[in-house]
Structure 1
Amino acid sequence: MLNLLSFHRFSEGSMLRANLNDIQVFMAVVDAGSFVAGGQTMGLSRSAAGKAIARLEQRLSVRLLHRTTRSLGLTDEGREFYRRGLQILASVDDAEASVAGDKGTARGVLRLTAPSAFGRRILLPLVPKFLVAWPEVQVEISFSDRLADVVEEGFDLAVRIGVTAPDTRLVSRTLARYRALLCASPAYLAARGEPHTVESLAGHEALLFSSRNQKQPWRLRDERGEWVKAPVRGRLRLDSGEALHDAALAGLGIAYLPDFIIAEDLAAGRLQQVLRAVEGEEVRIVALYPNKRLLEPRVRRFLDLLVDTLGG
């Protein structure tokens, strides 16, 4: 696991001091899996590619790659530097596009994947505006709370909510942040009573999110101001945020849901917030896209629309 010291090792200053061409060579070698193939991508010999990475390591005073006669792998510092490098190259692309003015005509098929609740409430309403602006683009959207493999399944852009596992094949960009809230229907609270402490949640039916490749614990700041994992139990587990929302409305238990999903229900009285004095976790909404050197115009245009709309 990457320790705290190595995680913060690469400041903006150290990244800027590293030669941009050497960073590109490093990224190419990692992507290709060898000095030979990565060097060829950059028009360099194996020796020249190796010297570029050696310069990086010397400048940063860390080892970025494990080298053996048979394999090439990233060190913990190398993984962190790769992630930062993706951000640097994406920023360079943005700068070039801004100077050039026209980012190109958006055309072709844009394939998106997003969690069902976010997709239906936030993403889908943006599509008509996008289609009008870019008549040569077709949009395909998969609404699913399953964590699709963005690269293997051929998606141009994915929206994720919460913590995402590091993936060196992808670039991550924060779009927005939301607050998770505890809520239940008036009928449920009338029948079971309202919990008054985090510990008392253990005596209630919790509506839990669970799927094959992810589970979401309830993290709350309790009455003492400490972040704790709530002691929840539930007989109903669902793999969809929309289904959890519907189950809460049906009076089946207490749910822990994003504020953007339940805001209208709270205002209308269909749901009530539980433990108002307890702070829920702030969670990021991020966009993920393959780490290509240049984004296709259709992807960049839609990403720009998301950022402009959500204020990321």
Structure 2
Amino acid sequence: MISAEHLKGITAFVQAADAGGFTLAGERLGLSKSGIAKSVARLEERLGVRLFNRTTRRFALTAEGQSFYTTCVRVLAELENAEAALNEQRLRPRGRLRVDLPVVFGRRWVVPILLDIGGRYPELSLEISLTDRRIDPIEDGIDLVIRIGDLDDSTTLVARRLGLQKSVVCASPAYLESQGCPASLDELDDHSCIVFGRGGQTLPWWFVDGKGAPFAKPVDGQFAFNHSDAICDAALAGRGIALLSTWLIDDHLGNSRLIPILPEIETRGFPINALWPHARHMAPKVRVVVDELVNRFLPEPPWDMST
């Protein structure tokens, strides 16, 4: 078996041959000229041959040195390739990755990305759950969570911002033609608003005042749904005014099937984050998904590019 000292001598020998001398070889390896010369001398002694012809004017490989150099370069290259292959295998995403996503946003914007990643990494198995219930990743054994909204203080989770959910007040052209367009938030009280409701409770709409502080505006109307897709469908059908996320209605805004209302009034944005449990080293299977989401969603999300 080759010893560490022997391998060190071979490395010094190859570097000296490539550099044409001990001085430059030492600089490349971070060693002194004498250190390189001694390593090569010990290697020559073990081999029982002279590897270099060294004079004050000439530094060149001997015939034996040239033959040995060719073999050493090939062997060192094979070692480097073996190490690179091992690192690539170790860093390649593999195994089961459990991901939890918000239902509508996840299906529309995250699932296609996960499908692309799965196609690139066949050794990666993805288990994807779609729910708007806030889960505990550690208790539920989830590797990665995508969450929209303010984060709870947690020392057990790592967060990576993916963007900001923006919303617009909007309605269909048919509704605005028949009912008119409100000129202020107060005039929303005279219109039918399509709201998010559950269990007899409806959620207010959130805006930002001139000082940047968020405030809630109570709204009401004929229709209340517990699903944003249904609210969008009702707005498209001309049943009222809705507050909808741009990631949901980017196509409808682009082709004017929905018209923004009160654009001068800022709506409150909610952060979009990727969350995963703390670990000493980020698992490659988590890293590849987070990196891809960052690349796709930042600095400008694709759903805001067409609006």
Alignment TM class, shorter chain as reference: 0.5 to 0.7
- The amino acid across from 2:244 in the alignment is L
The match for 1:177 among 157, 164, 182 is 164
Q: Distance in 2 between matches of 1:165 and 1:238?
A: 26
Deviation at 1:276, TM superposition (A): 1.8
Q: Distance in 1 between matches of 2:190 and 2:233?
A: 21
**Superposition TM-score, scaled by structure 1 size:** 0.60
**Superposition TM-score, scaled by structure 2 size:** 0.61
Q: Distance in 2 between matches of 1:197 and 1:275?
A: 7
1:133 is matched with which residue? 120
Identity among equivalent positions (%) equals 37
Q: Distance in 2 between matches of 1:284 and 1:187?
A: 32
- The amino acid across from 1:151 in the alignment is I
2:51 is matched with which residue? none
The match for 1:304 among 288, 291, 302 is 291
The answer to whether the Cα contact below 8 Å between 1:199 and 1:231 also exists between their aligned partners in 2 is: no
Q: Distance in 2 between matches of 1:215 and 1:173?
A: 31
Residue correspondence of structure 1 range 112-123 to structure 2 within 5 A: 112-123=99-110
3-state SS of the aligned residue for 1:201?
A: helix
- The amino acid across from 2:97 in the alignment is L
Residues 109, 122 of structure 1: alpha-carbon distance in 2 compared, 3 angstrom cutoff: same
Deviation at 1:286, TM superposition (A): 0.7
3-state SS of the aligned residue for 1:233?
A: coil
Residue correspondence of structure 1 range 258-297 to structure 2 within 5 A: 258-297=245-284
Q: Distance in 2 between matches of 1:169 and 1:216?
A: 30
Instruction: Kindly provide the CA deviation profile for residues 230-254 of structure 1, in whole angstroms up to 9, marking residues without a partner as x.
Output: 2312353333222322222222322
The match for 1:247 among 217, 234, 242 is 234
Stretch of structure 1 that moved more, 241-250 or 122-131: 241-250
1:188 is matched with which residue? 175
Residue correspondence of structure 1 range 1-20 to structure 2 within 5 A: none
Q: Distance in 2 between matches of 1:304 and 1:217?
A: 35
Q: Which runs of 5+ in 1 are unaligned?
A: 1-99
Instruction: Kindly provide the CA deviation profile for residues 30-59 of structure 1, in whole angstroms up to 9, marking residues without a partner as x.
Output: xxxxxxxxxxxxxxxxxxxxxxxxxxxxxx
2:140 is matched with which residue? 153
Q: If you compute each CA radius of gyration, which structure gives the higher value, 1 or 2?
A: 2
The answer to whether the Cα contact below 8 Å between 1:115 and 1:144 also exists between their aligned partners in 2 is: yes
Residues 151, 276 of structure 1: alpha-carbon distance in 2 compared, 3 angstrom cutoff: same
Deviation at 1:262, TM superposition (A): 1.1
Deviation at 1:191, TM superposition (A): 3.1
3-state SS of the aligned residue for 2:224?
A: strand
Instruction: Kindly provide the CA deviation profile for residues 186-243 of structure 1, in whole angstroms up to 9, marking residues without a partner as x.
Output: 222233321110111122222223468x985422245898753223123533332223
The answer to whether the Cα contact below 8 Å between 2:148 and 2:165 also exists between their aligned partners in 1 is: no
Q: Which runs of 5+ in 2 are unaligned?
A: 1-86, 300-307
The answer to whether the Cα contact below 8 Å between 2:207 and 2:266 also exists between their aligned partners in 1 is: yes
Q: Distance in 2 between matches of 1:172 and 1:303?
A: 10
Q: Distance in 2 between matches of 1:266 and 1:310?
A: 19
3-state SS of the aligned residue for 1:246?
A: helix
Stretch of structure 1 that moved more, 299-308 or 145-154: 145-154
Q: Distance in 2 between matches of 1:176 and 1:236?
A: 30
Structure 1: 4+ residue segments shifted above 6 A: 100-103, 223-226
The answer to whether the Cα contact below 8 Å between 2:173 and 2:258 also exists between their aligned partners in 1 is: yes
1:109 is matched with which residue? 96
- The amino acid across from 1:208 in the alignment is V
The answer to whether the Cα contact below 8 Å between 2:203 and 2:218 also exists between their aligned partners in 1 is: no
Residues 228, 189 of structure 1: alpha-carbon distance in 2 compared, 3 angstrom cutoff: same
The answer to whether the Cα contact below 8 Å between 2:202 and 2:224 also exists between their aligned partners in 1 is: no
1:199 is matched with which residue? 186
Aligned length: 212
Stretch of structure 1 that moved more, 228-237 or 214-223: 214-223
The match for 2:131 among 128, 144, 148 is 144
Q: Distance in 2 between matches of 1:103 and 1:160?
A: 29
The answer to whether the Cα contact below 8 Å between 2:191 and 2:241 also exists between their aligned partners in 1 is: yes
Residues 204, 148 of structure 1: alpha-carbon distance in 2 compared, 3 angstrom cutoff: farther
Residues 200, 226 of structure 1: alpha-carbon distance in 2 compared, 3 angstrom cutoff: farther
RMSD of aligned alpha carbons: 2.8
Residues 137, 180 of structure 1: alpha-carbon distance in 2 compared, 3 angstrom cutoff: same
